[in-house]
């Protein structure tokens, strides 16, 4: 059986390129999520302005301030209760829409955390492999390709989950716009 022989620099090139690719994915994904969360906050502000312009009283404004300070679960319960009591009321619909945007932001944050953890794992793996690239080549040259394949498979999985998170987020957003 003949093994693939790599040059001394193959590992350095591979792990360096993958490290740079992970950093680029992290930056692009971060920008996407920041703009997405900012747009959701903009929608919430529009809902607040719309509710305020509906001629609500000062006690209703106090309720809006209290609503803003509630936890996500409390907001969900309050909005559901209002919709059940007054399904056609514009203020109740405003609270319901506000709650939906808050829930979307929470989902986006959990997607950010998962994607960031995966990318951090990839970056750390590539840094370690880059540090040991010379030693892997020197002492494990017959199985060096196994290290390369393992790292490349890990990178493909990371890329898949990051892209999957973005696509799911876009589909959810597209569904809300229609």
Q: Identify the residue with better confidence: 168 or 64.
A: 64
User: What pLDDT score does 174 carry?
Assistant: 54
pLDDT tens by residue, 35-65: 888 999 999 999 888 887 776 677 777 888 8
Per-residue exposure over 43-78, b if at least 16 CB sit within 10 Å of its own CB, e if not: bbeebbeebeeeeeeeeeeebbeebeeeeeeebbeb
User: What pLDDT score does 7 carry?
Assistant: 78
User: What pLDDT score does 68 carry?
Assistant: 86
In angstroms, how far is CA 3 from the centroid of its own chain?
A: 41
Region 14-23: what's the mean pLDDT? 90
| CA angle centred on 138, ends 134 and 142, rounded to 5° | 120
Domain ranges of the chain: 10-177
Region 137-151: what's the mean pLDDT? 80
pTM exceeding 0.75: no
């Amino acid at each position: 059986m003949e093994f693939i022989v790599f040059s001394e620099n193959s590992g350095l090139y591979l792990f360096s390129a993958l490290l740079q690719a992970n950093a680029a994915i992290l930056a692009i994904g971060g920008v996407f999520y920041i703009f997405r969360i900012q747009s959701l906050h903009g929608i919430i502000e529009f809902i607040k302005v719309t509710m305020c312009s509906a001629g609500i009283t000062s006690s209703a404004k106090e309720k809006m301030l209290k609503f803003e300070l509630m936890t996500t679960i409390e907001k969900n319960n309050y909005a559901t209760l209002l919709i059940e009591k007054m399904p056609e009321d514009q203020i109740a619909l405003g609270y319901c829409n506000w709650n939906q945007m808050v829930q979307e932001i929470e989902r986006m944050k959990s997607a950010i955390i998962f994607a960031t953890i995966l990318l951090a794992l990839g970056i750390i793996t590539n840094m370690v492999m880059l540090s040991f690239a010379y030693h892997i080549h020197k002492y494990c040259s017959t199985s060096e390709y196994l290290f390369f394949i393992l790292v490349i498979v890990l990178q493909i999985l990371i890329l898949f989950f990051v892209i999957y998170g973005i696509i799911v987020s876009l589909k959810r957003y597209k569904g809300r716009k229609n």
